[in-house]
Structure 1
């Protein structure tokens, strides 16, 4: 009886029931006016045609357009309405004004660093152009005086994170897509509660969809009672809304404005291999110490202000002095950046494309998903055809079978062009990294799929000539030893029904 009550009252059950009720009411209304069905059908077709014309003329990615157009043509009665409720990223005037206000304060807190870019230009004009793009269109400047330490596995990040959290004196900011009760989160929570009791400003943001199955309903209220300020990003409601598509996929921890973490690792036991649902979980993160952490601090505060609807003075959180850090292998250039789905600038994808298009020797990539558009396919294949050594590591074990099937559907066109594809045989690789020419590195939260590149709030760290870059390369080559190279012969042995299924799924890849 207790299980039945828990199931009935679970918010997932309530959400499903609410949506089904809405559909039931709609179908009931249609059936009541059965004699006028032809008019309803004609009206639905006209709406779908109008929606298709609107899709064709907007500035969305072409593959995303095609997927929606096919879906609408297959389901002409409800397809257009479904796109209106689910497929757009259109903001209300109030939301636009709110976003503009936050963007203006973000730009003010992060003034351009033209002197650093000019210095970089003297060293490498191509690197300077990449950095300038992030500054001009992502609004996040480059920095010196920052040490990067690459963390090649979740277990290492976990220990480093606890070590740094214990040093906090002023504030701790935590923003994650997934937080799950268990060994990892409970250990971190103990530190956060202790710090909050001593007057440290502790704040947590978690995504409601990401934590739908991992945290109890209104968990934020529980944290507030512990002295931890907490926001839930984009709470799920039982109404169809385009904003439900936009999730906070970032993973950020900031301590006192001078130490920051980001990468693919969420705060859940699977990420530190305390249990293995999909085999060994390979992930990565980066720890920064120094000036560049200020950009990460502003990222968090911008999101906090957006959710809470307040306008804090960002400058009050800027550290007056930074702790002395031991510089390794020179300064280098470090540039944290964020990407929002609420504008037309796909910063994450452009950062990736710039690295591929400008590579001279090699590009090494790790990604859990390989669901890419024509621009990315062209960039990868063109670079490989030009002699650049392109290697991509993807998972061997799937976390979602249909996504894995679509990932594998891209192998042939890439391999035929000279791209080398490897699968991580011990389990699932969740790391999102790019390394190029012993000079460039990007690590962050951005998957190579449509959701990360177009629909989610994401973040990453672009690096040039930093120690972290070579640490990333070493980890990639070590990981490669545990991988199996995929050949054209492997693809020819795929059963016909799987090949057909993958082809069908690929049509709808942008909607996954």
Structure 2
């Protein structure tokens, strides 16, 4: 006969022996009050399972340096170069456009050793078709090496086309190295890896998740989308290797995304990110000049490539966004698929809007992730109340990740405007200091705005109670994403 009282007693004993020590661990980590409260609530509401959930998804690794790659010689050189650039910037703050945002430039030099490069030509790629056409053309011209690092690499039509091209280039003697995120590219089969390796292509998954080994790191994903060709041509942005980025999805419609092509010194900065990640996954150091050519310092568009992730001491991309928004005088235009800003960035947006800065944010009305969509919606009312203009994209699914601030600061990259990208994922963003480039990206934003509907505060407050309930529940757990 089942003894309910005995079962209850054992249950509470196990709960006391697990949940309370974990709660103390969370408190000692000194996270933001929002994250701490969210995790403790999970421990209370989901006894025992909440502990397992925390051990798998919730542990903080930034302070523990578990992903440190600072033994790499090139990163030491990078730190020395960033210190030199800081001194040079004190003496000669470059041109008027960089001078206008010197606080952001100095910040990125300090928090992530992001060098300011000048010899760059940039091209904004407005969708998957333009992006893959440009990537395929650049790959075909490769002479020495091709490096790819992707969150999602699907073995669908576009993935197979790229794979066949890479195999062809390898036969021509071009070195090919690939990093794929183990969770994002979960559908890749062993035979896919085996075929590439048998044909001389080096490929590694980023932080394999094999139960029970490494389950504590499943939450820390490589969200970067990087290609570097011969050290001087690079790509970064929101587009992964998958058919959906060209054809969209039936339930969502066309896929609206933004990518960036770089020719010049900033591509070498992307290469530095790749070489650090390659060292992490393979133990191999790529420090020769053919991989990392010296900066030309030639005339061109000023760019800083910023890497973010738990392998850095600071949340570099989030800090750069905060400094950019806080320093805005005229406008802040943001496009993002997920809008779940950490408290500091939420405050920065509201403060800018209340200071009569023109703050506009475009998010998709339909999303590929329901909980993230409800979480995004949960911030809309608070932002509208402060004067931020919110637009819901109508022409399919908006997956672009970019921002324009005032007249000559813009950023395109892999990071969403949410907790996960700013605090947990491995990301990469290009920060560009150029009036012409910012103007071009603003045109893309205004075009996206035309394909969106503006949300009015009075209208938004009339949504149903069930809608509000879903938002509230998603809002509570948003710091844990």
Asked if these proteins are the same fold (TM beyond 0.5), I'd say yes
Within the candidate set 23, 26, 30, 1:52 is matched to 23
Please give the alpha-carbon distance, in whole angstroms, between the structure 2 residues aligned to 1:94 and 1:389: 39
2:89 alignment partner in structure 1: 117
Please give the alpha-carbon distance, in whole angstroms, between the structure 2 residues aligned to 1:314 and 1:339: 24
Q: Tell me how far 1:416 sits from its aligned partner.
A: 1.0
Please give the alpha-carbon distance, in whole angstroms, between the structure 1 residues aligned to 2:415 and 2:397: 16
Counting matched residue pairs gives: 474
* Mean Cα deviation higher: 257-266 or 226-235: 226-235
Q: Tell me how far 1:292 sits from its aligned partner.
A: 1.5
Residues 274/121 of structure 1: CA separation in 2 closer, same or farther (3 Å cut): closer
Asked if 1:194 is matched to 2:168, the reply is: yes
Residues 447/274 of structure 1: CA separation in 2 closer, same or farther (3 Å cut): closer
TM-score (norm 1): 0.86
2:409 alignment partner in structure 1: 440
1:3 alignment partner in structure 2: none
1:341 alignment partner in structure 2: 310
Deviations 1:81-135 (A, max 9, x none): 5423431134898946x63323x54232462223663433673555222111111
1:497 alignment partner in structure 2: 466
Within the candidate set 337, 358, 361, 2:327 is matched to 358
Please give the alpha-carbon distance, in whole angstroms, between the structure 1 residues aligned to 2:251 and 2:197: 32
Give the RMSD, CA atoms, in angstroms.
Answer: 2.6
Asked if 1:370 is matched to 2:343, the reply is: no
4+ runs deviating over 6 angstroms: 91-94
Q: Tell me how far 1:221 sits from its aligned partner.
A: 1.8
Aligned to 2:339, the other structure's residue is in SS state: coil
Asked if 1:89 is matched to 2:60, the reply is: yes
Deviations 1:459-500 (A, max 9, x none): 000111154322111111111111100112331231111211
1:45-444 matched pairs, under 5 angstroms = 45-90=16-61, 95=66, 99-102=69-72, 105-109=74-78, 111-112=81-82, 113-114=85-86, 117-118=89-90, 119-120=92-93, 123=96, 125=99, 127-213=101-187, 215-217=188-190, 219-239=192-212, 241-273=215-247, 276-319=250-293, 331-444=300-413
Please give the alpha-carbon distance, in whole angstroms, between the structure 2 residues aligned to 1:37 and 1:91: 38
Please give the alpha-carbon distance, in whole angstroms, between the structure 2 residues aligned to 1:293 and 1:441: 17
Q: Tell me how far 1:371 sits from its aligned partner.
A: 1.2
Structure 2: segments with no counterpart, 5+ residues: none
Q: Tell me how far 1:229 sits from its aligned partner.
A: 1.1
Deviations 1:419-443 (A, max 9, x none): 0000110111000001011210010
Whether contact under 8 Å (1:45, 1:76) holds in the other structure is no
Deviations 1:43-65 (A, max 9, x none): 53243223222222324333222
Structure 1: segments with no counterpart, 5+ residues: 1-30
Whether contact under 8 Å (1:117, 1:131) holds in the other structure is no
* Mean Cα deviation higher: 457-466 or 247-256: 457-466
Please give the alpha-carbon distance, in whole angstroms, between the structure 1 residues aligned to 2:391 and 2:265: 36
Please give the alpha-carbon distance, in whole angstroms, between the structure 1 residues aligned to 2:6 and 2:25: 31
Q: Tell me how far 1:147 sits from its aligned partner.
A: 1.3
Whether contact under 8 Å (1:149, 1:467) holds in the other structure is no
Please give the alpha-carbon distance, in whole angstroms, between the structure 2 residues aligned to 1:36 and 1:280: 53
Asked if 1:460 is matched to 2:429, the reply is: yes
TM-score (norm 2): 0.91
Aligned to 2:391, the other structure's residue is in SS state: strand
